[in-house]
Amino acid sequence: MKLLSVIIPVYNVERYVERCIRSLETQDMDQASYEIICINDGSPDGSREIIIRLSDEFGNIRLIDQENGGVSIARNTGIKNAAGKYLLFIDPDDFVLDNTLGEIMKNALSCNAQMIVPGYNYFDHAGKIIGKKIFENYENQILRGIEAYPVLRGKFQKQKYPIEVMIADSSVGILFDAGLFRENSFYYVPGVILNQDCELLARIHSCVESCLILTTEFYCVMEREGSATRSTYRSSDKVIRGYVLAAESLNIFKSGHSLSEEQRLFLNGPVVQFVILTLSAAVKTGSLKRLNEVIGLLKNSGLSKLQVKGCQHYHWICGMAYNLSPHLGAVVIMLYLKAIHIFKVRLKLGLRA
């Protein structure tokens, strides 16, 4: 059995994928002990040829070809074909630091952790570091998944960079116990176009008993040009329906799995979060007609009322407002978005000063 399966979805990344794979080969562990699974998701560029060339050079690369189905389906293919004790998801335009993976694996194996979170670096297009995500106050601590969730989504120690460059919910760069995935049938939900990591991570955190937090700087996130998460695509019909699908999926998981009351209360937060994302996307269209359509979609999906017990702060306020009236919930969200915009403008002005 391999110690680790690295899963890389590949689509139109011929400019980056070689750097990504080579960074994984420059590590402090025997290449025979881990595999790199590249899922060619019907990529029309030269990515596949680059991977074939690298597989001739390195013996631990596996290439799987499939028709284009999106990142979630590609990652699911990797999960189904993985032979490692642990899973590691990596985006092909990112990379990892040299000679860091072996030490992380040693820490994981020494305590048999189900989830291992190392440190992140964030770079702009020019290769300049613009942020770090390292939880120094929790170094080498083992937390339950429910305890780790707010820690990993919170503020970061020694933060020197604008907070908006950070990714709150991301499954890349984290080592997961493959057995946890098999036992709970954990896969990404096809059809959730954006924030698919958030939906999966909510289910994972609800079940994890041992999450190890390391301060080892490991994963490097490259700023992406033309990212869908920064465009008007966020308000498209596909994205909105994906948010609703994610909320439905979490509700089904919450009722269909053998979970404790604490675990169910924890999952209320992510369900409310996806309803908030749905309404936010509708609000940003500026169309009352579209907002009414989206509210109808939520109601038809069994989301006319939300469970807010266990929710924190903003989620609780928005959830309560939504339960009084979905339109009131939309107003609260709109005011919040406006406040965030004003804060970001002031932050940028302060940084320039």
- pLDDT digits over 175-185, tens only? 999 999 999 99
Closest CA to 310 of 277, 255, 269: 269
- pLDDT digits over 155-165, tens only? 554 445 544 44
d(Cα 283, Cα 240) in Å, to the nearest integer? 11
pTM of the model: 0.91
The pLDDT of residue 322 is above 80:
yes
What letter represents residue 118's amino acid? P
pLDDT at 160: 54
Per-residue burial over 289-324, b if 16 or more Cβ lie within 10 Å, else e, is ebbeebbebbeebebeebbbebbeeebbbbbbbbee
pLDDT at 157: 45
Average pLDDT over residues 198-218: 96
- pLDDT digits over 55-64, tens only? 999 999 999 9
pLDDT at 348: 61
pLDDT at 165: 45
Residue 195 CB neighbours (<10 A): 22
d(Cα 217, Cα 223) in Å, to the nearest integer? 17
- pLDDT digits over 250-289, tens only? 999 998 888 999 999 999 999 999 999 999 999 989 899 9
d(Cα 213, Cα 142) in Å, to the nearest integer? 7
Closest CA to 228 of 213, 218, 244, 242: 242
Average pLDDT over residues 5-34: 97
Please state which of the ranges 158-162, 222-226, 250-254, 315-319 shows the lowest mean pLDDT: 158-162
The pLDDT of residue 34 is above 60:
yes
Instruction: Tell me if residue 177 falls in helix, strand or coil.
Output: strand
pLDDT at 43: 96
d(Cα 7, Cα 64) in Å, to the nearest integer? 11
Which residue has 């698919």 as its token pair?
A: 196
Q: Are 10 and 47 in contact (CB under 8 A)?
A: yes
